[in-house]
Structure 1
Amino acid sequence: MGIDSGVNVSDDVALYGGKSAFTQLEHNIVAGYLITAGVISLLSNIVVLLMFVKFKELRTATNFIIINLALTDIGVAGIGYPMSAASDIHGSWKFGYVGCQIYAALNIFFGMASIGLLTVVAIDRYLTICRPDLGQKMTMQSYNLLILAAWLNAVFWSSMPVVGWAGYAPDPTGATCTINWRQNDASFISYTMAVIAVNFVLPLAAMFYCYYNVSVTVKRYKANNCLDSINIDWSDQINVTKMSMVMIVMFLVAWSPYSMVCLWASFGDPKTIPTPMAIIAPLFAKSSTFYNPCIYVIANKKFRRAIIGMLRCQTRQRITINTQVPMTTSQQPLTQ
């Protein structure tokens, strides 16, 4: 795309509004993608929020985490996509230094919040299925504290480059801003390693532990034919767990290219990073904003029933919940 080998960008690209290393046609293609993805993401995530407003059966503690995830997607689609698309149409970053700092910080903020919230979902699945004794002790305040911790963690890491730990700057396309991985000094390397460790490796390790134990528990109960002895609505919890696992796998797919770029820049020469990777990595990182709503609907039958009810303009769509056994806090509607 305009450059045959690696990203060999002149210093002018780092200047706000400087000449881009890519052609205007390439910028227009990216802008078209961002506009399309942004519209789809905004509409689909707004539909998800409307589902929670309309159907009180969906307003559980677990699904409240999903609401927060939808808010992170709306944040990226409503703020990040338009600024980046406008700059691509312009051919270079058009919002100056302050706009670059705000744009990059918000994108990192929503990304860090997403992986934090997905970790909370994994913990919820573990407690609900593997440790129902502890899961029943979880209150709405407990869930609120976990969710708040995910947001505060995102605030910390997204604000550090603004105050001087690493930094934000236009990327090689010159039309969007991100962590300044082309200046791989000690500050950038230490920040990148800390972010990857705290917001990538540790969350994924926690998720793997939680879902591995969930898988083992499910297999054990199925083998012993004693699902009825578990104090949960098993069918519903399996659906929610499958949805959560798919979301995490897709999040890993979305953010892995960006992590690879940062690691490459930390331990190698940033100028040797292939051009396609420099372009695709940040686009992949944003892609979860529009496929998450699809995962909610495809992997969870309650969401499917709710969306069908909305499409049919039904005033009421009862979503059956098995009440033959007591429910944990994660299953109970928030209105109860």
Structure 2
Amino acid sequence: MIVSNVSLSGCADFNSALCAGAGEGHLGGGSYRTTLTPTGNLVVAVCLGFIGTFGLINNLLVLVLFCRYKMLRSPINLLLMNISISDLLVCVLGTPFSFAASTQGRWLIGERGCVWYGFANSLCGIVSLISLAVLSYERYSTMMAPTEADSSNYRKISLGIIMSWAYSLIWTLPPLFGWSHYGPEGPGTTCSVDWTAKTANNISYIICLFIFCLIVPFLVIVFCYGKLLSAIRQVSGINASMSRKREQRVLFMVVIMVMCYLICWLPYGIMALLATFGPPGLVTPEASIIPSVLAKTSTVINPVIYVFMNKQFYRCFQALLQCEAPRRGSSLKSSSKVPTKAMRGVAGTGPRRTNNFLFMVASLGHPAATVPQLGLSCEPTIDITKAPSSDNKPVVVSLVAHRDG
């Protein structure tokens, strides 16, 4: 159950005894507990300890790889670093305090600490969600670009990173200034936006937060990766024998990304809506803590999906463990000035459009591929045997599938 804000309004120091006494009052026709049982607190503490430890290790390792290997310092990987930084901040600024509160069965850092905890975790969580949407849009827009991707242009990605933090601030600052507010959540061992106040002020904020910080990023991710998958299928139609396995792997990666997004964040969103619009007592303390823990697991899952299942990062990770230079999985012999067509060129006729589209799909990742970012198993080897000339002769592009050793 999400404890009614009224029952906790007098618990300035979040003392468990005081909160329990307030929570046991008769509010809205029901009797409320403010804490889990000792066993429940222990289970939550173990889960949070696991999430905090592995989230910290995974995201730190991502940052180490990015700093250690120059080949990883591409614009799109910079966006992955932004996701890892926001997840790392959650592991440092949030999880330890909720872990300590679960071990003691009460909140430990006071009312102002609760407000700070709610703001910091909401800010970093929304940054992570928006960054995932920006990442999917970047991959989609690169696929639709009329020219070869510029691997040295950091301006667009930098704007995306700044936008993710600014967008998150737009939605996390209002509770500090009166549009809803931050307070105890669930059994009182975590803090977030007050989901239970039935005022128009609070309900309007929660509806906007749900739509613009959960639904909109999800729709962007589904749309962009759907378009990317459609592009891969078109390439499969051109060279089916080479691309079938690649298409299957891209489909698998897209499904994993979408499913993990839903598993981590949809239960939390549903719980918030039920607590906001449902009758008092509809959400129990045990039920309310589960979505909160699931949302925090994104700090562990994101590095695995978006980084360690990326072959480029994985090779660098292997090299780091073996203290050797990372091996390359593909070769590229081309000029960055070779023009390419947009994806719509596939629908046209003529070998030039077909070859140019193949080149575009294959060359998106030089040096950090858009399609290989999704973990493709058949990577392209591109051989430009003829440069573009004034007589508009087609560029010859060959894609050779090979296995990663």
> TM-score, normalization: structure 1?
0.85
Q: What SS does the aligned partner of 1:177 have? A: strand
Instruction: Give, in whole Å, the separation in 1 of the partners of 2:286 and 2:94.
Output: 21
Q: What SS does the aligned partner of 2:147 have? A: helix
Q: Which residue number in structure 1 is paired with residue 326 of structure 2?
A: 317
Q: Which runs of 5+ in 2 are unaligned?
A: 21-33, 337-359, 369-405
**Which deviates the most, 193-202 or 22-31?**
22-31
2:310 to 279, 300, 307: 300
Asked whether the 8 Å contact 2:171–2:209 carries over to 1, the reply is: yes
Matched, 1:69 2:83: yes
Q: Which residue number in structure 1 is paired with residue 45 of structure 2?
A: 31
Q: Which residue number in structure 2 is paired with residue 203 of structure 1?
A: 217
Q: Which has the higher contact order (CA 8 A, sep 6+)?
A: 1
Instruction: Give, in whole Å, the separation in 1 of the partners of 2:2 and 2:237.
Output: 54
Amino acid aligned to 1:148: I
| Count of residues paired in the alignment | 322
Q: Which residue number in structure 2 is paired with residue 284 of structure 1?
A: 294
**Equivalence map 1:25-174=2 (5 Å):** 25-133=39-147, 136=150, 139-174=153-188
Amino acid aligned to 2:331: N
2:199 to 176, 181, 185: 185
Q: What SS does the aligned partner of 1:169 have? A: strand
Considering fraction of residues, name the structure with more helix. 1
Instruction: Give, in whole Å, the separation in 1 of the partners of 2:149 and 2:206.
Output: 35
Instruction: Give, in whole Å, the separation in 1 of the partners of 2:241 and 2:331.
Output: 14
Amino acid aligned to 2:157: Y
Amino acid aligned to 1:175: T
- The percentage of aligned residue pairs carrying the same residue is 27
Shift in Å, 1:106: 0.8
Shift in Å, 1:124: 1.2
Amino acid aligned to 2:332: T
Q: What SS does the aligned partner of 1:133 have? A: coil
Q: CA RMSD in A?
A: 3.0
Q: Which residue number in structure 1 is paired with residue 281 of structure 2?
A: 271
1:175 to 173, 180, 189: 189
Shift in Å, 1:72: 1.0
Shift in Å, 1:319: 3.2
Instruction: Give, in whole Å, the separation in 1 of the partners of 2:237 and 2:268.
Output: 41
Q: Which residue number in structure 2 is paired with residue 249 of structure 1?
A: 259
The CA deviation string for residues 78-102 of structure 1, in whole angstroms up to 9 with x for no partner, is 1111111111122111111110111
The CA deviation string for residues 280-310 of structure 1, in whole angstroms up to 9 with x for no partner, is 0111111110122222455222222111111
Q: Which runs of 5+ in 1 are unaligned?
A: 1-5, 229-234
Amino acid aligned to 1:71: I
Asked whether the 8 Å contact 1:184–1:265 carries over to 2, the reply is: no
